[in-house]
């Protein structure tokens, strides 16, 4: 479950940058959003692999 907490924390940490980018047009915030979303993608892939390995081990 700690991996799920990592996902939640990452998404919540991006909230301010999403607002700055979409509401105020801050381009630097858009870059941070893109970086954060890439981290989220990598984290999700790691979780998928972990779940699959655990499932196959049983």
The residue written with tokens 């870059």 in the block is 31
Decide if 1 contacts 13 (C-beta within 8 A). Answer: no
Q: What pLDDT does 35 receive?
A: 98
CA-to-CA separations, 1 to 4, 33, 34, 47, 50, in angstroms, rounded: 5, 24, 25, 10, 12
Residue 44 binned pLDDT confidence (cut-offs 50, 70, 90): very high
Sign of CA dihedral 38, 40, 41, 46: positive
Please tell me the pTM assigned to this model. 0.85
């Amino acid at each position: 479950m700690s991996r799920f907490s990592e996902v939640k924390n990452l998404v919540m940490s991006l909230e301010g940058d999403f607002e700055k980018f979409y509401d105020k047009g801050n381009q630097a915030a858009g870059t941070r959003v893109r970086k954060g979303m890439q981290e989220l993608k990598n984290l999700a892939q790691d979780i998928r692999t972990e779940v699959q390995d655990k499932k196959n081990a049983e």
